[in-house]
Amino acid sequence: MQDIIKNKKQSKNALRIVEKTIPVLLFAAAFVSVITTVGIVFTLIGETIMFFREVSFFEFYSGTVLRPLSPVDPQFSILPLIMGTLMTTLIAVLVAVPIGLTTAIYLSEYASKRARKVLKPMIEVLAGIPTIVYGFFAFTFVTPVLRDVIPGLSATNALSPGIVMGIMIIPLVASLSEDAMNSVPNSMREGAMALGATQLEVTFRVVIPAAISGIIASFVLGISRAIGETMIVTIASGSSKNFTFDITQSMQTMTAYIVEVTSGDAAAGTPIYYSIYAVAMTLFVFTLTMNMLARYISKRFREVY
């Protein structure tokens, strides 16, 4: 046997070449993701610069009036869009975080194995529904229902898509939080239970503190998902570019603005056209920051055990 192996020296050499080339190929593949990021930055940066040649950086980030299409006096300020984005995101987070977290707690700490096996995939279906469907749902169902309760609510508003976006990201928050809680070793739960703690006390005083980094990271990911969500707000939030806190009125998010302009009338070379790149760039930086934050948080708050 060892002799046969010796005799296979020939193929050994071929093997060595394979061993050498494979990592190179794999690295090339891994680099595609880097190229993608570079690609995104390059696509956005050129046009963004063009935009800031025509519109002052200061005005863009400090003004409150966005009237890109006005033939007489176009004004570019991203604040109304940021406000729209923040408002819808805030609402979404207010829906998704409590429901997502309690769902995670229920699944991870209370539910029987069988119940979890049934409930978890069902909840995850929520994440699989195309956002366009949610948009439709928000506009034709949630808004009318809400209007029965809230008289002043406009047919397009920030509230309804915010809520629906929240529902959409429940599974994300629930899933990731549940993972974080599941990875808390059982020995810790046992330690607490052996002291006579109830399930609730175990959960809130041991499991959640131990899983907090993962839980917060899930919130942050949920937030960045909400920030980047497009179709729900495009359909259900209208296109008013008001700088307002009034969530009962139509608002526009950064993403919806990009859809409006790209599917609209903007001619290349005009400030409107360039403005979508400046908005996209801002959006990119926003989500980038959120992700960095998520990573920082999971590192910073990771409990050692």
Contacting another protein within 16-55 (CB under 8 A): 18-19, 22-23, 25-34, 36-37, 39-40, 43-44
Comparison of 58 and 265: residue with beta carbon closer to another protein: 265
Residues 215 and 203: their CA atoms lie apart, in Å, by 13
Q: Which x/- pattern, by CB under 8 A, does the window 219-248 give for another protein?
A: --x--xx-xxxxx--xx--xxx--------
Q: Does 71 bind another protein (CB under 8 A)?
A: yes
Beta bridge partners of 75: 67
Site membership for another protein, residue 188 (CB under 8 A): yes
CA–CA separation, 90 vs 159, rounded Å? 10
Residue 228: CA count within 13 A, CB half-sphere: 16
Minimal distance, residue 59 CB to another protein, in Å: 19
Per residue in 40-55, is it b (16+ CB within 10 Å) or e — as a string?
eeeebeebbebbbeeb
Compute the distance between CA of residue 113 and CA of residue 119 in angstroms, rounded to an integer.
10
By CB under 8 A, the residues from 84 to 143 that bind another protein are 98-99, 102-103, 105-107, 110-113, 119, 121-126, 128-137, 139-141
Is residue 15 a contact point for another protein (CB under 8 A)? Answer: yes
Q: How many residues does the chain have?
A: 305
- Angle at alpha carbon of residue 55, lines to 66 and 65, rounded to 5°: 15
| Among the listed residues 270, 234, 274, the one whose alpha carbon sits nearest the alpha carbon of residue 254 | 234
Which of 62, 191, 245, 299 touches another protein by CB under 8 A? 191
The reply on whether position 62 binds another protein by CB under 8 A is no
Q: Which stretch binds another protein (CB under 8 A): 48-56, 57-65, 86-94, 292-300?
A: 292-300
Q: Applying CB under 8 A, which of residues 64, 90, 209, 244 lies at the interface with another protein?
A: 209
Minimum Å distance from CB 56 to another protein?
A: 22
